[in-house]
Amino acid sequence: MTPTLFITGTDTGCGKTTVTAALARRLADGGQRVACFKPVASGCEWIEGTWRNEDALALMAAASVELDYDQVNPIALEEAIAPHLAAERSGVAIDLDALVAGIEAPSADIKLVEGAGGWMVPLGDELMTADLARRLSAGVVLVVGLKLGAINHALLSARAIEADGLKLVGWIANRLDPDQPVQDENIATLGSKLGPPLAVWKHDGGWEDDGRLAEGLFGGAGSALLAQP
C-alpha cells in the first residue's frame, strides 16, 4: 500500500497548504514520486469554464506526479463556507467511496492528502473528515498555526484525532506572524504534551527545523524516503 499522509490543521488559515506543498517538494527532491490531493475544497474561482481552488493548484505545482485537476480536487465548491454546507447549497453530493477510489487510483511512491479546515469539519450529514482519513489508512499530520489560541486548538485537535482511532504521526509548527509573542514558548509547551514538532516552518518560507521529519513521518525508512536537499 502506498504510504499516505493526511494533513490537517488547527483551523482554517493555519498553513496546511503551505506545509503540504513544502513536504511534497522536499520528497520530490529526494527522488520520490509524490501525488498531492485536496479532495474537497470550498472557496473556488471560475477559471476557464470550471471551478478551481488556489490551494489545489498550489499542490499540483508542488507534486512530482502530474494529475488532472479533477483528480486532485474532485469536489470544488464555490462558496468559502463549511464544505458540507457549500455542497448542500450547490446541490453536490460528497461520495466517500468516490473520493477514496480517486485517491487510491494514481500510481505514486507517497501520497499527501490535505483536508478542508480543521479535523472536526463535517463533509456531510453523517460524514466527517476522520472517515476519509480512516478509509485511506492514512497517518495524520497536524499543522499548528502559531497564533493566540494555538495551544488549545492543537491539544483539542490531537485528542480528537486519537479519539477517532487515527494515528497522529506528528505535528508541524507554522510561524504565521513574525510579531506573535512567545512562539518558542508555545512550541515548547506543545512539545511537552505532544512530543517535539516534526518541523518548524518559517514565516518567510523554508524549514527552520526539520530534523525529525524523516523518522517521524516514515519511521525507520524515513532517511530513504526523505532525502536532505
Q: Which residues are catalytic?
A: 38
Instruction: Let me know: does 121 contact 83? Beta carbons within 8 Å.
Output: yes
Task: Transcribe 122-160 into DSSP letters.
Answer: EEETTEEHHHHHHHTT-EEEEEEE-STTHHHHHHHHHHH
Q: Say whether 116 counts as a known binding-site residue.
A: yes
Q: Say whether 91 counts as a known binding-site residue.
A: no
Q: Say whether 14 counts as a known binding-site residue.
A: yes
How far apart are alpha carbons 127 and 113 in whole angstroms? 17
Helix axes 150-163, 183-194, angle to 10 degrees: 20
Q: Say whether 2 counts as a known binding-site residue.
A: no
How far apart are alpha carbons 21 and 205 in whole angstroms? 12
Q: Say whether 13 counts as a known binding-site residue.
A: yes
Q: Say whether 36 counts as a known binding-site residue.
A: no
Q: Say whether 220 counts as a known binding-site residue.
A: no
Instruction: Let me know: does 40 contact 116? Beta carbons within 8 Å.
Output: yes
Q: Say whether 49 counts as a known binding-site residue.
A: no
Residue positions forming the annotated binding site: 13-18, 42, 55, 114-117, 174-175, 196-198
Which residues are part of a known binding site for substrate?
42
